[in-house]
Amino acid sequence: MSISMYAASVPVFRQMLGSLVAIIGKAEAYAAERKIEPTVLLQSRLFPDMLPLVRQVQIACDFATGVTARLAGQDVPAYDDQEQGFEQLRDRLQRTLAFLDTVDAARFDGSEDCEILTRPGTPKERRFSGQDYLLTYGLPQFFFHVTTAYALLRHNGVEIGKRDYMGAY
C-alpha cells in the first residue's frame, strides 16, 4: 500500500541526472558547432543575480548526493566544485551517478522516520523527518536546479525539448 523511500529518491535522481548528461552533451556540441566559447554557456544566467549554468548542475548533483547519503545514513561525499568545462561537468554528473549506484536500497528502510538536520548550528538550521526532507525539501530543490539548467540552455538556443528533460523513464 505504499512506496519505498528508495524508489522515491535514487531512481528519480538517476533519471534526471542521466538526462542532464545528455543535455550537457548537446550544449557542448552546439557550442563547438557555432564556435561559442564553452564558458559563455557555462557562465550564462537567466538574470544577473541568479547562479550560472555550471552552478545549477553542481547544485543538482549536490542535492542528489546529499539527500541520498543522509537518507541512507552515510557521510555526504564532498566535491570541490572546480568544474570549468563541459567535459568536467559531465564527469561530475557521472561521479554523482556512480555514487548513487554504490548506495544499497536496504539502507533506506525506515528512513522516512529518521531525523534529518540541515545546516546544523546555523540560523537556518532545520529539523525534518526523512519523509518531509525528501518530499517537501529535497525533491523540490533538486528539480529546481535540473529544470533551471535546462531552461538556461533552452534560452540560449540549444536544441533540446521536453523529451531531453524527461530522460529515460
Residue ranges in contact with its own copies by CB under 8 A: 1-5, 7-8, 11-12, 15-16, 46-47, 50, 109-110, 112, 131-132, 135-137, 139-141, 143-144, 147-148, 150-151, 154-155, 157, 162, 165-166, 169
Taking the complex as a whole, the smallest distance from the CB of residue 107 to its own copies amounts, in Å, to 12
Nearer to its own copies, 77 or 132 (CB): 132
Taking the complex as a whole, the smallest distance from the CB of residue 155 to its own copies amounts, in Å, to 4
Taking the complex as a whole, the smallest distance from the CB of residue 52 to its own copies amounts, in Å, to 14
Dihedral (CA of 72, 74, 79, 85) sign:
negative
Identify whether the C-beta of residue 152 lies closer than 8 Å to the C-beta of residue 59. Answer: no
For residue 57, the SS3 value is helix
Nearer to its own copies, 91 or 109 (CB): 109
Cell of 50: 541568479
**What is the distance in angstroms between the CA of the first residue and the CA of the last residue of the chain?**
22
Nearer to its own copies, 79 or 143 (CB): 143
For residue 78, the SS3 value is coil
Identify whether the C-beta of residue 41 lies closer than 8 Å to the C-beta of residue 156. Answer: yes
Residues forming a β-bridge with 128: 116
Nearer to its own copies, 87 or 126 (CB): 126
Cell of 79: 566535491
Taking the complex as a whole, the smallest distance from the CB of residue 157 to its own copies amounts, in Å, to 7
For residue 5, the SS3 value is coil
Nearer to its own copies, 4 or 74 (CB): 4
Taking the complex as a whole, the smallest distance from the CB of residue 8 to its own copies amounts, in Å, to 6
